[in-house]
Amino acid sequence: MIHEPLSRKLRYAMVGGGRDAFIGAVHRKAIALDGQAELVAAALSSSAEKARASGRDLLLADDRNHGDWRSLLDDELKRPAHERIDFVSIVTPNHVHFPVAQAFVEAGFHVVCDKPLVHTREQADALVEAAARKGVVFAVTYNYTGYPMVREARELVRSGRLGEIRKVVVEYNQGWLSAQIESEGNKQAAWRSDPAMSGAAGAIGDIGSHAENLVATVTGLEIESLCADLSALVPGRALDDDGSLLLRFRGGARGVLIASQVNTGLENDLRLRVSGTLGTLVWRQEQPSELLHLPHDGPRRILTRGSPWLGESAKRASRLPSGHPEGFIEAFANVYGGVVADIRARLAGLAADPLEADYPRVEDGARGVRFIERTVASAKSEAKWTAW
């Protein structure tokens, strides 16, 4: 088998993320940050006219600026191998994830998909199976896993510095949906509040999935059962905007998960506390460069991003010296950096370095879909406690 040289940038396409979209621009900026990949093709909107206008904004070549994702895929398959994209980034509303991801995986392309992965467990399982069968990279952009101090927390837990984990508390609090802005023309609120587009859950799917993934990434704990209370606190809203969960993990640890988008005045307040027999860790997304370590047998420590005494994973995830702020875009870039490292290794016929190819996989996305389904089922159940 002839493998490609590693001297070129990877080529990627984007589906979704055109004019007036929020997250697509974040993805593009993150991908561009390290100069390892370039956008060469796209279908940036469900409206063909808007898609092409958005592509012109980004200076895409006319013959690779498509009005819909099927035309994009058909065109890539017609091109010679040396011109094709290396991966596709899917940044559409949730209901579009599955058909696009499935089609590109079956065509043999590597895929990066925003979260939550899909609407149902059956769809998630189908993507896991297809990615394994086709041998492609399939990443899900749980971007908070890219923060250096989240990776340091993971290393401290996995190395045993906290002892046996007993209690985990994760909160993701926002206030942007405190009023019914979906009825006032807010596009981001409208699709997130529509069951046909968002899926079975609102806040639990949109931000609760991030909270679940953060717990799983840092602690490695597996949920055994959960008890959920979901509410639509804003009158007239079709999906939950507030959720509180009790968690039981395999091995005996207990947890609490809160995901709410109606906490008026709060912005993007994601926070995690992990307590074990030897100490506690505390991390907040709005102060991402600090990790508080509270050992039982010594003084509390404030660990900071960019410090030389951090673990290798955290050090690799930093681009600037300590004291120079890094944040949301850089965390996204670290996820994409892991994807690019894995794809480059495969192009060279090599096994990727696990420290470099560090990113959430399709299996993580599938677990997130199961979490959403179990949470919704528990909230509807009189018994409440729902086995995993």
Q: Are residues 112 and 169 both part of a single domain?
A: no
Nearest Cα residue to 147 out of 283, 384, 373, 331: 331
Q: Are residues 312 and 337 both part of a single domain?
A: no
Does residue 327 form part of some domain? no
Give the tokens for residue 286. Answer: 């709005």
pLDDT in tens, 321-372: 999 999 999 999 999 999 999 999 999 999 999 999 999 999 999 999 999 9
pLDDT in tens, 1-11: 334 556 799 99
Question: Strands, DSSP E only, in the chain?
Answer: 10-15, 37-43, 87-90, 110-113, 138-140, 165-173, 223-231, 242-249, 254-260, 269-276, 279-284, 290-295, 301-304, 386-387
Q: Which residues contact 20 (CB under 8 A, 6 or more apart)?
A: 187
Q: Are residues 75 and 105 both part of a single domain?
A: yes
pLDDT of residue 340: 98
Q: Are residues 36 and 177 both part of a single domain?
A: no
Percent of the chain at pLDDT exceeding 90: 96
pLDDT of residue 7: 79
Q: Are residues 375 and 236 both part of a single domain?
A: yes
Q: Are residues 271 and 337 both part of a single domain?
A: no
Which residues are paired to 303 by β-bridges? 291
Q: Are residues 235 and 297 both part of a single domain?
A: yes
Does residue 372 form part of some domain? yes
Domain residues for the domain of 210 are 149-321+368-387
Report CA-CA distances (Å) from 78 to 72, 75, 217, 340, 379: 10, 5, 39, 24, 48
Does residue 311 form part of some domain? yes
Please say if the pLDDT value at position 189 is more than 60: yes
Q: Are residues 66 and 80 both part of a single domain?
A: yes
Does residue 5 form part of some domain? no
pLDDT in tens, 249-308: 999 999 999 999 999 999 999 999 999 999 999 999 999 999 999 999 999 999 999 999
Neighbours of 53 (CB within 10 A): 15
Q: Are residues 88 and 181 both part of a single domain?
A: no
Query: Residue 302 and residue 255: Cα distance in Å, rounded?
Result: 24
Does residue 230 form part of some domain? yes
Quick one: DSSP state of residue 162?
T
Does residue 1 form part of some domain? no
Q: Stretch 70-98: mean pLDDT, rounded?
A: 97
Contact (CB, 8 A) for 30 and 8: no
pLDDT of residue 3: 47
Phi then psi for 128, rounded to 5 degrees?
A: -60, -45
Q: Are residues 232 and 188 both part of a single domain?
A: yes
Confidence of residue 104 (pLDDT cuts 50, 70, 90): very high
Q: Are residues 297 and 375 both part of a single domain?
A: yes
Does residue 238 form part of some domain? yes
Query: Residue 260 and residue 201: Cα distance in Å, rounded?
Result: 12
Does residue 214 form part of some domain? yes
- Give the alpha-carbon dihedral of 259, 260, 265, 266, to 10 degrees: 10
Quick one: DSSP state of residue 207?
I
Domain count, the chain: 2
- Residue 355 sits in a domain whose CATH number is 3.40.50.720
Q: Stretch 160-175: mean pLDDT, rounded?
A: 98
Query: Residue 199 and residue 210: Cα distance in Å, rounded?
Result: 16
pLDDT in tens, 40-79: 999 999 999 999 999 999 999 999 999 999 999 999 999 9
Confidence of residue 382 (pLDDT cuts 50, 70, 90): confident
pLDDT of residue 1: 35
Q: Are residues 122 and 217 both part of a single domain?
A: no
Angle in degrees, CA 221, 223, 225, rounded to 5: 155
- Give the alpha-carbon dihedral of 205, 208, 212, 217, to 10 degrees: 100
Percent of the chain at pLDDT exceeding 70: 98
Nearest Cα residue to 86 out of 362, 346, 354: 346
Nearest Cα residue to 225 out of 245, 241, 210, 206: 245
Nearest Cα residue to 334 out of 114, 93, 151, 86: 151
- Residue 171 sits in a domain whose CATH number is 3.30.360.10
